[in-house]
Chains A and B, each alone.
Chain A
Amino acid sequence: MKKKAIKDLIYKMADDELIIGHRNSEWTGLGPIIEEDISFSSMAQDKIGHALALYTILQETFGEPDPDTVAFLRPGKEFKCCHFTEMPNGEYDFSLIRHFLFDHAEKIRYEYLESSSEQNLVNLAKKITGELKYPVLHADTFIHQLGNGSEESHARLQTAINECFDQSLGIFELGEFEQELIDNKVFPGEKALRSRWFEEITPVLEGAKLKLPDIKNEEVGFGGRKGHHTEHLQPLLDEMSEVLTIDPETKW
């Protein structure tokens, strides 16, 4: 049973990383300035690398299929990513706010996992928390600069966070095995993660003169952890696996 719970945790983490990584990669060639083009492309590489490391643990320790099969050939309903990661990039303001909100949660999750009872996750978490300092610093810096920038840049960020904040809480949707993960000291749980996340993002937003919106609907972004997705996931998966599915047996 504990094995099933850990598998579920790793799948949702890996799927979040893969899908937001793919979204980040959609900025390649389109970034508003060259440095941001490079940043989102680098972060795409990072996130997809994290997904690969997690899928590799699933294969090596939990007997799941190889990472390419898991990433490219699973039907949408088997994905455990949250809705927030699936949303199209929209304008840069939304992408930046999502990067800020998601990466803080991701960082705290890996910090918790550094003291997990699951050794595979401890080793990986130690490595990834070091790397995540850069994307988090990147997000905080841009939120600060644009929040304190022009009237337009401030208004755009405030509108973006107002519109997506409820949905971002889908990151913390409880999984089926929540209590088991907590009892077995694998992970202190989504509630603990969410409250630390609030503590971390609040001062950054304040420094950028941005208001944390009131929560209107806690669960509007829920469903992803149970395999229910928005209409945006399937087209993303189709595009991501387009070349591979022409001939899945081809040797590269």
Chain B
Amino acid sequence: MITKQKINPSKTKILNALKEVKDPELPVISVIDLGLITGVRVVDSNTVKVSMAPTYTACPAIEIIKNSIKKKVESLGYGDVEVIVDKTVTWTTNRVSKKGKDALKNFGIAPPVKFKGELTQENMRLSSCPFCNSKNTTLNSPFGSALCRSIHYCYDCKQPFERFKPI
């Protein structure tokens, strides 16, 4: 009789290893903390299937991230590793973990606020400054140096800053 489903120890090991795989555009946050990984399936001692949801449809880093994930899992001794893009899961910034948000802030990018589906001028405009925590800021442009970021300005510490925009 099966009483409790055990967590597969090899799966845990893979998930831990993936904490070292970073988004090349945001080298401080792992694919786990970004919420990109939607599934890990250990088929047998040689075969693993990882599924991931990309941040943006047009994200140019998808192929690089897929390759980094594949190499990382292969380094654990699996010969047949497949990374597939999971089209059934829609990635949103709500998938970013608390740890991920802290890492973004420490890197100087304001983390996304919780997104409830409706983008209003207000939640677009209001952002805390990642440097001095002031809320006295303004939106300069909804588009920044990468698709996932917007450009803001802090009136208190007089710094422009980027924000991971909520979607």
A49 on the interface (CB 8 Å rule)? yes
- Output the least CB separation between B34 and chain A (Å): 16
Is A137 within 8 A of B147, CB to CB?
A: no
Binds A, one of B39-47, B51-59, B105-113: B51-59
A151 to B151, CA, bound (A): 28
B27 on the interface (CB 8 Å rule)? no
With A49-B56, A49-B57, A128-B57 already in contact, the answer to whether A137 and B143 are too (CB < 8 A) is no
**Chain B residues positioned under 8 Å from A124 (CB to CB):** 57, 87
With A38-B143, A131-B167, A134-B165 already in contact, the answer to whether A45 and B60 are too (CB < 8 A) is yes
A42 on the interface (CB 8 Å rule)? yes
Is B119 within 8 A of A46, CB to CB?
A: no
Is A45 within 8 A of B147, CB to CB?
A: yes
A35 to B59, CA, bound (A): 20
Interface size for B (C-beta < 8 A) is 24
A120 to B87, CA, bound (A): 9
Is A49 within 8 A of B87, CB to CB?
A: no
With A35-B151, A49-B58, A49-B59 already in contact, the answer to whether A127 and B142 are too (CB < 8 A) is no
**Chain A residues positioned under 8 Å from B121 (CB to CB):** 137, 141
A41 to B165, CA, bound (A): 17
Is B144 within 8 A of A46, CB to CB?
A: no
Interface size for A (C-beta < 8 A) is 28
A53 on the interface (CB 8 Å rule)? yes
A13 on the interface (CB 8 Å rule)? no
**Chain A residues positioned under 8 Å from B90 (CB to CB):** 123, 126-127, 130
Within B52-107, the residues touching A (CB, 8 Å) are: 56-60, 87-88, 90-92
Q: What are 11 A-B contacts defined by CB distance under 8 Å?
A: A35-B140, A35-B143, A46-B58, A49-B56, A50-B58, A52-B57, A124-B87, A127-B90, A128-B57, A134-B165, A137-B121
Q: Which residues of B contact A (CB under 8 A)?
A: 56-60, 87-88, 90-92, 119, 121, 124, 140-145, 147, 150-151, 165, 167
Q: Which residues of A contact B (CB under 8 A)?
A: 35-36, 38-39, 41-43, 45-50, 52-53, 120, 123-124, 126-128, 130-131, 133-134, 137-138, 141
In order of increasing CB-CB distance, the 5 nearest A-B pairs are A49-B58, A35-B141, A42-B143, A133-B119, A39-B143
